[in-house]
Amino acid sequence: MVRGVMLSNPSVFALALLAALCIGLSKSGFSGLSMVSVVLFADLYGPKVSVGLALPLLIAADLMAYPAFLKYGSWRSVWKMLAPALLGIAVGWWVLGGISETAARRAIGLCVLSMVALQSIRRWQPGLFDRLAESQGFGLGAGVLGGFATMLANAAGPVVQLYLMARKIPKMELIGIGARFFLLINLIKVPLNARLALITSESLLENARLLPAVAVGIFGGKWLLGQVPQVAFERMLVLFSALAGLRLIFW
């Protein structure tokens, strides 16, 4: 496991490029791949360093994806989610600043497993998920959990998507709202990460080396969507994410 910011070993750096590729692919339709990038970056760079290192890559991906969905969704839905998300971000920032590397690793693992659990409930227990979505406080809870997960591990994608799906929002509208929401939230997180010294000149240099893989993921993802069976792919990602989350916690 590598703990430096700049990776020099070619085979290890190839894994970092794979993680950056997953960020791009996650913005182009393979949303579950965001969990892969979280786990790989935490393993390669260290849990806390990886949070700040991934953020500029996520913002770059958001800026590339956002124009493609301008005609879908609106900012009105974003404002409704913003207040509870900011509360979650504040809690996550406080926790991230005060915990050790080991505790951060376990917390990221728990965030990953929480996202896996939500995805699994939606897929295999849709009735239970619908009842959960209709319960009082679901929106507030989803917002706070999403804010906390995005600050602590850049891992809020699944919970935000599930919240929007529970509102019966059409697919393209959902993608458009998500593009706006994450662009805004990730920009808000920049000074918070910088305050914790998680974004540095060295980490930005590493971002420059990884950025091409993000672009390849975004522009290649649309083509890949037509080549890969979506159901089998999602099941594989849920299994991988569960194992990876457990690894972060226990190994």
Q: Report the distance separating Cα 79 and Cα 126, nearest Å.
A: 27
Domain ranges of the chain: 10-250
Q: Quote the CA–CA distance of 156 and 173 in Å, as a whole number.
A: 18
Q: State both tokens at 133.
A: 């979505």
* N-term to C-term CA, the chain: 11
Helix (H) and strand (E) counts for the chain? 11, 0
Q: What is the pTM of this model?
A: 0.84
- Residue pair 177/191 in contact (Cβ under 8 Å)? The answer is no
Q: What is the pLDDT along the chain (251 residues), one digit of tens a residue?
A: 445 566 878 888 999 999 999 998 888 767 767 888 888 998 899 888 999 999 999 999 999 888 877 888 888 888 988 999 999 999 999 999 888 888 887 887 787 787 777 777 777 777 776 777 677 677 788 888 889 988 988 888 777 777 777 777 777 787 788 889 999 999 999 999 999 999 999 999 999 999 999 999 988 876 776 676 656 666 666 676 677 677 777 76
Which helix (H) or strand (E) element contains residue 65? helix 47-65
57: burial class by Cβ within 10 Å (0-12, 13-18, 19+)?
buried
Which long-range contacts does 215-218 make (Cβ < 8 Å, 24+ apart)? 215/24, 215/64, 216/21, 216/24, 217/20, 217/21, 217/22, 217/23, 217/24, 217/25, 217/26, 217/27, 217/28, 217/61, 218/24, 218/25, 218/27, 218/28, 218/61, 218/64, 218/65
Identity of the amino acid at 77: S
